Amino acid sequence: MESHSLRFVTIVVELVLSVSLVLNPVFGVPPCDFPAIFNFGDSNSDTGGLSAAFGQAGPPHGESFFHGPAGRYSDGRLVIDFIAESLGLPYLSAYLDAVGSNFTHGANFATAGSTIRPQNTTLHQSGFSPFSLNVQYYQFHDFHRRSIIFRNQGGVFKKLLPKAKYFSQALYTFDIGQNDLTAGYFLNMTTDQVVAYIPDVLDQFKTVVKYLYDQGGRSFWIHNTGPVGCLPYVMDRLPITAGQVDKAGCASPFNEVAQYFNKKLKEAVDRLRMDLPLAALTYVDVYSLKYTLISQAHRYGFVHPLKACCGHGGKYNYNKHIGCGGKITVHGKEVLVGKACKDPSVMINWDGVHYTQAANKWVFDRIVDGSFSDPPIPLKMACHREPPH
C-alpha cells in the first residue's frame, strides 16, 4: 500500500514540476529557434544599406574580419552580426543591396545616419540618412508583401526569400535613436530643446513597433542608445566646458540626455507590453555596458578609450573633414592619411563615431545571456514575454 502511495506522490510531483517548467517564463522552456531576423536601425547595425544607396564605405572598413569593405562602419563585425551568429543564422543582407543578397533568413533595413524621426535635411547637408525608421517600416511592409508573392513563383525566389511563416516567428531587432539626439545638437539646439522633442521621437518609435506587430511580428529585441558624450565626433564638434567632463573624460551633458532618452524608451517599451498582448518585448541596456567599457578600458584589455583607431589628427584622432580612409592631395597625388591603427583589437572606438569589432564583441558577450535585459531573458529565449505589470 505504501509503495502505491509513494508511486502516486512521485507521479504527482513529476506532473507539478513538468507544468511549472512549462509555465516558467524563462527556465524550463525550449529556446525560441528564430528562423530569421529583421533589423531596424542606424550605423550601429547597418550591414550595407547606406553603402548600397550612396556608395561603399571604403577601406580600411571591414579589414579585421571581412578583409575588405563589407558595408559596415567598423573594422569588422557589428553586434547584429554576433546576434545572427549566435542564433545560427547567416549575416543579414541589407534590404537596399541588389547584389549578392540572400534574404532567406531575414533582412536588414538599417542604414548609417538613420533617425527615428524624419529629418528635414539631405544626407549631403547634414550627414543623416533619408531612410528614417518610418521609411524602414515602409520598406519592410513592401518586402513582406512581395516576398510572399514572388516566393510562391518558385525557382530562384524560393532560395532567396523567407518563408511566409518566418515573419511571425522572426526576431525583430532595433538599435536606433543616437542620431535623433545628435541631430538636434548639430542644428545648434540647446539641451532643453533636444529633451523637449524626445517624447515625439518615442511616439514615432512606438507607432512603428505597433505596425510591425500588426504585420505579425511578435518578438522584439530593443537596444537603448549608447553614451554619445563619449564619442569623438560629439566631443570634437560640440562645445563643452572643463566642468562638464566626467572622470572618464566624457561630456556629461550629452550622456545625461542619452540617459533621459533611455529612461523614456524603457517607459515606451513598458507601454507597448500593455498595448500588444501577444508581443515579447526585451529592452536591452547597452548604454551601461558601453560606458563601463569606456570608463574601465584598461581593466578589460583596451587602450585609449576616447581615441579613434582610424582617423587623422586632433585630440581624438578624429577630423570631420578627413575621416577614416580619407585622402589628401599632395603634389598632384592622393595620399592616404585616414589610416587605421596597428591593432584595432585593443581599441574601443573605430572611426570617431562607431565601435570596433572587439568592442562590439565585448558588448554582445554581456547582453546575450540577458544580464542587461528587462525582463532578464537570454537572447535565445526572447520569444517569451513577461506579463504586463
Which residue matches cell numbers 543591396?
97
Active site residue 20: no
What DSSP string describes 352-382? SSSB-HHHHHHHHHHHTTSTTEES---GGGT
Strand-pairing partners, residue 121, are none
**354 catalytic per annotation:** yes
Of the listed 43, 64, 93, 147, which one is catalytic? 43
Q: What are phi and psi of 348, to 5 degrees?
A: -95, -45
The identity of residue 307, as a single letter, is K
Q: Which residue is catalytic, options 74, 132, 351, 373? A: 351
Residues 6+ away with beta carbon under 8 Å from 341: 309, 310, 347
Q: Which of 61, 105, 144, 354 is catalytic?
A: 354
Q: What angle do CA 224, 280, 381 make, to 5 degrees?
A: 90
Q: Is 343 a catalytic residue?
A: no
- Give residue for cell 548609417: 112
- The whole-angstrom distance between residue 41's C-alpha and the CA centroid of its chain comes to 6
- For residue 77, the number of C-alpha atoms closer than 13 Å in the C-beta half-sphere is 18
Task: Report the alpha-carbon distance of residue 46 to residue 50 in Å, rounded.
Answer: 7
Find, among 228, 231, 237, the residue nearest to 319 by Cα. 237
With beta carbons less than 8 A apart as the criterion, state whether 173 and 39 touch. Answer: yes
- Quote the CA–CA distance of 239 and 214 in Å, as a whole number: 44
Residue 65 sits at φ, ψ, to 5 deg, of -130, -45
Residues serving a catalytic function are 43, 351, 354
